[in-house]
Amino acid sequence: MVTFRDAMGTMTSRSFGAAFPMLPSYVAVPGAYLSEPARKALPVRAVAADGFSNPILYIEELRRIPLACSRVAPPGTALVFRARNGLLRSPPGGWTAGEMFFFGPRTGYRIDTSPHSFVATFETGSMMLVDVAGRWTVTDPVAVVAGRLSDLDHACTAELGRRIAAALPAELPSTEEIRDLLTGAWRDGVAVPGGVRLHDLDVGVARAEAVRGDRVIQYLVADEEDSEPGDPGTTEPAQMVQELAGLARDALAEHGADGAAGRALLRFQDLVLRMTDVLPDGRDGRAGDDQRR
């Protein structure tokens, strides 16, 4: 409330809004601020990965009777037991026959805990290729079993992709700056949900080669019988289709699938995928059983 005194000396009380009707409404609400625009996410896609394998080496059904000790975990592995109530335990050295009878585990798992090398390549905004090399190690065997982490390739590349998108700005800097940003962010390694850690990471960055529209047109109209050196007509069919698929993917990522142009891009991508399905097996560009004589 605001109190006023008029010319006759009369005291009048009014609310703040009634006393100052022309002031913007947000002035009367302390702490109200305009939110900043959301940060544009950098598109990151895993294009290749090698060195990942299933950390669950084997699964064994167990019984209380006859009495027997559990298996002994070889070096570089760990044993995880699932009880009938679902509780998971990983005893160092396994269990004795008495412990096997007392705890009554229903299932036993052997988990690979030794370090393994891996390499993975990511495409960032169709402009840069980020190569990540390092080692992966299971740090929590129980978490691996609880999360049923068998597709390590997907789990690790998905986490690395999220970390790359979070560490890099939407407007990509130079290759050296990208490498420095990622190296600094991953100095202590990367924890993958499910009990795995990526460590000893080495990052390499290179610019991705763009496929121009005129080059694609040359691909489509090239005459295989009248090709000149450097003409796309001399390109292997598999390489040509691979580059066309990359062009379709990049165009959809940049322009989206909305509108007439987006629908046309989707049809083009579908055509390229169907071309992939009918690629010949022979290097000469024809199927082995249908070669012309």
| Nearest alpha-carbon partner for 224 in 215, 214, 216, 234 | 234
How many C-beta atoms lie closer than 10 Å to residue 77's C-beta? Answer: 19
Backbone phi, then psi, for 169, in 5-degree steps?
-75, 165
Helices (H) and strands (E) in the chain, counts: 8, 11
Render pLDDT for 24-71 as a digit per residue (tens, 0 to 9).
Answer: 444 444 444 444 455 566 788 898 899 999 999 999 988 777 777 788
265: helix, coil or strand? helix
Q: Pairing between strand 77-83 and 44-50?
A: unpaired
> What is the distance between the alpha carbons of residues 273 and 218, in angstroms, rounded to a whole number?
19
Q: Which residue has the tokens 């409330």?
A: 1
Render pLDDT for 170-199 as a digit per residue (tens, 0 to 9).
Answer: 787 888 998 999 999 999 999 999 999 999
Q: Which two tokens stand for residue 152?
A: 């390590």
Q: Is the pLDDT of residue 120 over 60?
A: yes
Q: Which two tokens stand for residue 38?
A: 């959301």
What is the DSSP code (8-state) at residue 74? P
> What is the distance between the alpha carbons of residues 78 and 141, in angstroms, rounded to a whole number?
7
What value, to the nearest 5°, has the Cα angle with vertex 110 and ends 143 and 57?
Answer: 100
> What is the distance between the alpha carbons of residues 157 and 262, in angstroms, rounded to a whole number?
28
Fold of 45-51+115-207: Tetrahydropterin Synthase; Chain A (3.30.479)
What sign for the dihedral angle of Cα 218, 267, 157, 277? negative
Render pLDDT for 132-166 as a digit per residue (tens, 0 to 9).
Answer: 999 999 999 999 999 999 999 999 999 999 999 99
Report yes or no: 135 and 118 within 8 Å, Cβ to Cβ. Answer: yes
Confidence of residue 79 (pLDDT cuts 50, 70, 90): very high
Q: How far apart are the first and last CA of the chain?
A: 99
Q: Decide: residue 195, CB within 10 A, 0-12 exposed, 13-18 middle, 19+ buried.
A: buried
How many C-beta atoms lie closer than 10 Å to residue 250's C-beta? Answer: 20
Render pLDDT for 191-223 as a digit per residue (tens, 0 to 9).
Answer: 999 999 999 999 999 887 655 544 555 555 555
> What is the distance between the alpha carbons of residues 123 and 160, in angstroms, rounded to a whole number?
12
The residue ranges of every structural domain in the chain are 45-51+115-207, 56-112, 213-290
